[in-house]
Amino acid sequence: MRFDTVPGAFVDSSEAQIDLFEFSVVVVAQANNPTILNPDFLRHNGIVGTQWRLSEDHPPITTPPLSEVTFEGGLIVRADPIRVTFEQQGSALSPEDIECVDMAKGYLKTVPHAPYIAFGINLKAVVLNSPLSQLSNVLRSNGSWMTFESIVPRFELRAIYEMERKRLTLELQEGQNELGSFRLCQANIHRGIAEPNQQMRMNSMLSSLDSWRNDLDEFRALVTQSLLPSR
């Protein structure tokens, strides 16, 4: 995968650029029916706007175990027996680019009686040639395992934050590509649904989805605080 540095994504106070390249909403339901997912269903119910054209390289799939509709411009909607995913991909996505949240809300309003039990937001970003610390420095360990046969390992970190009404999992990895070294940053923001009746559960999901920009800001802040050198 090629990571390009494109202005306009996230720039923190240290001028380190954090490029968001994938954003998705995943809705979890018991006994989900993937066969209802097709282009006509998405368009007829206003879940996907008419400006989204179907991908010629990836024709729609509609089967009992899996349905998937891929659009040009990096939008994918897929369903299996336990989840529906609205995924958006792009180079340096800005908050103004994100449309999959409204699509997920449109789907929930169209299919309000499914037994939903949880939903989450997934984010993937890359940090290129910045003053951010190597993950090995973040670990701050002098153990002999830091080198093995003169090889310095790449590191992956996984941090889990148990918050009120949600769980945020942050994963950080080091890597190299033709543009140089980069840090791959991924997060999952998981929310269970505990409301006692369906209408309250639906209202809770829709309200929580409205806070997706706050989730995005938390992700950016965590990446910055995790990787910036100590002052």
| Assigned domain for 70 exists | no
- Do 61 and 124 contact (CB within 8 A), yes or no? no
Report pLDDT digits (tens) over 113-125.
888 999 999 999 9
Q: What is the pLDDT of residue 135?
A: 65
Q: What is the pLDDT of residue 12?
A: 45
Q: What is the pLDDT of residue 94?
A: 92
Q: What is the pLDDT of residue 155?
A: 73
Return d(Cα 164, Cα 18) in angstroms, integer.
26
| Assigned domain for 46 exists | no
Look-up of token digits 């965590």 = 222
Q: What is the pLDDT of residue 194?
A: 83
Q: What is the pLDDT of residue 99?
A: 94
Q: What is the pLDDT of residue 167?
A: 95
| Assigned domain for 143 exists | yes
- Across 91-122, b (16+ Cβ under 10 Å) vs e yields bbbeeebbbbbbbbbbbbeebeebebeebbbb
The whole domain housing 16 covers 10-30+87-93+118-193+200-226
| Assigned domain for 124 exists | yes
Q: Which residues in the chain land under pLDDT 70?
A: 1-16, 129-147, 176-181, 227-231
| Assigned domain for 35 exists | no
| Assigned domain for 20 exists | yes
What the block records as the tokens of 49 is 């706007």
| Assigned domain for 50 exists | no
Pick from 86, 113, 114: nearest CA to 102: 86
The pTM assigned to this predicted structure is 0.85
| Assigned domain for 147 exists | yes
Q: What is the pLDDT of residue 8?
A: 36
Kindly report the number of other CB atoms within 10 A of residue 184's CB atom. 17
Q: What is the pLDDT of residue 141?
A: 56
Q: What is the pLDDT of residue 139?
A: 62
Q: What is the pLDDT of residue 82?
A: 95
Q: What is the pLDDT of residue 225?
A: 78
Q: How many domains does the structure of the chain reveal?
A: 1
